[in-house]
Amino acid sequence: MGNLNSTAREEDGPPALSKRGAEAAKPAISYLPEMLAAMGDLYDPETNPEGYVVAAAAENKLLYKDILEPKLCEAHRKLSEVAEHELFSPYYGDMRGMPNVRKAVAGLMEELVVKKKKLDPDCLCLTPGVTSAVNMMAFVLGNPGDGVLIPAPYYPAFDNDLHTRTGLVPTPARMEKIKIDQPEDVPGLPVQWRITEASLEKGLAEAKAKGLNVRIFLLTNPENPLGFSHTVEELETVIKFVRKHKMHLISDEIYAGDCHSAREGDATHVSVLDLTEGDDIHVLYGMSKDFGLSGHRMGFIYTENKDAVKSISSLSGFQSVSGPAQAVLYELVSDLDFVRSYVAESNRRLRDACDKVQGHLTSLGIEFYRPTASLFFMIDLRKYLSAPTWDAEMELFQTFFKNKFIITPGKACHFKEPGYYRVCFAAASEEAMALLCNRLSKVLASVQVSNAAASDE
Ligand SMILES: Cc1ncc(COP(=O)(O)O)c(C=O)c1O
């Protein structure tokens, strides 16, 4: 018998991956290698005081220990005590989610996401995370090479979610920045970002000039990376626009319950499904943000498009949520009293954490766009770049990394101009976020302030 380790193709090397397999080997987001390295060496006041503070992942870690963990332990205890078939089937079944779980999820979404409409559990499909839900919808609604119009700035991973496996092409429609009169006591830059009809038509014209056939519009509401809820007027503009141009509207409402601003006049969450319905509207939600359970990998697609439901059902076999995971989810979300008190407490803690980080940044003279919802906001560090370039933005990011903290560079969020960074204020404890601000102030003190940032984004 010959040597099994040698191949007939020794000179050529092993057979290559497919083109799409090779393309998928790229990091899903540009700064992922640094983020994973930092996550493996996290700051801990006792065991790792020199570790990293990671404020680049949109996570809410403020309620896990005292509120979520006991609730999850209770769910797991129940699972271990009751014969499993009473809570979930140990056999094959409906891969898009067990009927009782989909019913409970419909109830959860009526509580936090879609407040004016009764949701039909038969229109719901479970996926392992909203990442998977976005990829699923891209597969079901678009053809390879089709454009997906997205209000920009937008969430870094959408490029990967929409393109990998499905070959769709994300293309931005830049929101307008509108100067506003802002009361003295309100922190942040006096600017509102808005989706307008003109911004959408311009984005579409640019997509067409690139040769793209745009059939899908992807909205994130509340918005990521700026952290605010879109107004009813903006949502109506989007709905009219998608219908005029015969597009599907995917509305990612994963931050629906994170409307933490208590200030009068700040928009709260309204779902597109509160304003309209139809086969062209698809709403996504999940457990990673409002419930801080990103490791549980749990996402939901709500669509009344029966053909889409059929496709998703067939495809669910490739990416379904396991029965035990659904059983734990059921225990959590079917207890609506728990959900209500959890979300109220979550928003109280988010408000507090956000105020504290903003306080540190203000004392360092750093400007930012004030958030009213979600888990992050954008800060303006343009004057600290060595030059007004994307390379300089990445260079400063690398300096932050060397100094043991991570915030998201604006390029990844599709900002138009270098020098903005996204800070996730709930991704670490109050003490860790104070340390991050301290490390940031040391880095900024050591770099030369340039005048390069005179222009506005
Ligand atoms: C807008 C948006 N959609 C989807 C996701 C991914 O969610 P999941 O963890 O459910 O895959 C994120 C995570 O940051 C996000 O910000």
Q: Are strands 408-409 and 376-380 parallel, antiparallel or unpaired?
A: unpaired
Examine residue 278 and state whether it is found in any structural domain, yes or no: yes
Burial 261-273 (b: 16+ CB within 10 A, else e): beeeebbebbbbb
Per the structure, the count of domains in the chain is 2
pLDDT over 90 (residue 440): yes
Residue 7's pLDDT is 59
**Residues in the ligand 1 pocket, defined by CB under 6 Å:** 58, 129-131, 155, 220, 224, 252, 254, 286, 288, 294, 299
Interval 108-135 mean pLDDT? 98
Q: Tell me, yes or no, whether 352 and 367 share the same domain.
A: yes
Q: Mean pLDDT lowest for which of 36-45, 153-162, 280-289, 444-453?
A: 444-453
Examine residue 73 and state whether it is found in any structural domain, yes or no: no
Interval 295-318 mean pLDDT? 97
Residue 1's pLDDT is 55
Q: How confident is the model at residue 51 (pLDDT cuts 50, 70, 90)?
A: very high
For the chain, give the percent of residues with pLDDT over 70. Answer: 95
Q: Tell me, yes or no, whether 248 and 384 share the same domain.
A: no
Q: Point out the catalytic residue in the list 61, 103, 289, 383.
A: 289
Catalytic-residue membership of 115: no
Q: Give the N- to C-terminal CA distance of the chain in Å, as an integer.
A: 68
Q: Tell me, yes or no, whether 49 and 99 share the same domain.
A: no
Interval 375-387 mean pLDDT? 97
- CATH number where 296 lies: 3.40.640.10
| Domain range enclosing 407 | 19-66+339-446
Q: How confident is the model at residue 210 (pLDDT cuts 50, 70, 90)?
A: very high
**What is the Å distance from ligand 1's center to 254 Cα?**
7
Catalytic-residue membership of 380: no
**What is the Å distance from ligand 1's center to 430 Cα?**
23
Interval 211-229 mean pLDDT? 97
Q: Tell me, yes or no, whether 197 and 213 share the same domain.
A: yes
pLDDT over 90 (residue 146): yes
Residue 454's pLDDT is 46
Catalytic-residue membership of 155: yes
pLDDT over 60 (residue 451): no
Catalytic-residue membership of 252: yes
Q: How confident is the model at residue 80 (pLDDT cuts 50, 70, 90)?
A: confident
Q: Tell me, yes or no, whether 332 and 347 share the same domain.
A: no
For the chain, give the percent of residues with pLDDT over 90. Answer: 85
pLDDT over 70 (residue 6): no
Site to substitute for ligand 1 among 135, 288, 377, most atoms within 8 A of C-beta: 288
Q: How confident is the model at residue 82 (pLDDT cuts 50, 70, 90)?
A: confident
Higher pLDDT, 28 or 104: 104
Q: Which residues contact 129 (CB under 8 A, 6 or more apart)?
A: 286, 288, 294, 297, 298, 299
Question: Where among 336, 365, 383 does a domain terminate?
Answer: 336
**What is the Å distance from ligand 1's center to 372 Cα?**
18
**What is the Å distance from ligand 1's center to 334 Cα?**
22
Q: How confident is the model at residue 12 (pLDDT cuts 50, 70, 90)?
A: confident
